[in-house]
Amino acid sequence: MLPPDFILPHGATPQSPMPEYIPEPGDTGIVVDADFYKWTPLPYAFRFCRPRIVMNGQEVPDTSWGTNFVPLAPGLYHVRVSTVPNWFIAWNFIPTGAPGQEIGFADAMIPVRHGHRTRTCYQASLSRIYAGALGPEPREHFPGRHLLLVAHGAFGLLLAVLVGMSLYKVLFG
C-alpha cells in the first residue's frame, strides 16, 4: 500500500505496477543519481539549487547534484526527491513563487536488500507546474522539456521578426 501523500507519476494509477528496481552488489543502501537539464537558458541556475531527499519522512543531510549514497537497513523505503532553489534563484530564474518552496517532487517505493545497493535516478523538473521524475533509469526527456522548447521557439520567432523588420527598414526604409 502506498503512503497517503505519495505522488503518482503522470499517467499512473495506484493499481499500476511499481517500476522494477534491480539491486546491485555493494554497500546496503540506496544510491540517488540527481540530475538537472544542462541546456536551460540559464544552466547555472540549477547549480545554486540542491536536491532534497527524504526517506520514510527523514531528510537526508548534505545532498548535492550527482550521486548520493544513503546507507540503510534492508526493507522497503518511501523516497521523495525535490529541488530546493535558494532565494536569489527562486525570485529571478525559476518561477516558484517563494524562496525555499520546493519544485519537481517525485516519489518512489524502493526496496533495499542486504549486501546490495539500489540505484534510482531523479530528474529535476524544468518548471514548477511539472513533477520531477524518479525511477530505476533516467527518462529520455526531462519533465517540462517540451514547455522549454516551445518557449525557445517563441523567442526565436520573435527575434527573427524583429531582425527582419530592422533589415526591411534599413534596406527599404
Q: For residue 164, is it within any domain?
A: yes
Q: For residue 12, is it within any domain?
A: no
Instruction: Indicate the helix (H) or strand (E) that contains 167.
Output: helix 145-172
Q: For residue 1, is it within any domain?
A: no
Beta-strand pair 29-35/66-71: antiparallel
> How many other CB atoms are there within 10 angstroms of residue 63's CB atom?
18
Prediction pTM value: 0.75
Residues in the chain: 173
Give the per-residue pLDDT at 89. 53
* DSSP characters over 98-142: STT--EEEEEEEEEE-TTEEEEEEEE--SSTTS--EEESS--SS-
Cα 74 off chain centre by: 26
Beta-strand pair 103-112/75-84: antiparallel
DSSP 38: T
Q: For residue 8, is it within any domain?
A: no
- Render each residue's pLDDT in the chain as its tens digit; 173 residues: 677 777 777 667 777 777 889 899 999 999 999 988 776 655 566 777 889 999 999 999 999 999 999 999 999 999 999 888 765 555 545 554 555 577 788 899 999 999 999 999 998 877 667 778 888 888 777 666 666 677 778 888 999 999 999 998 888 87
Number of independent structural domains in the chain: 1
Give the position of cell 524544468.
126
Q: For residue 17, is it within any domain?
A: no
Q: For residue 10, is it within any domain?
A: no
Q: Quote the domain boundaries for residue 135.
A: 24-172
Q: For residue 15, is it within any domain?
A: no
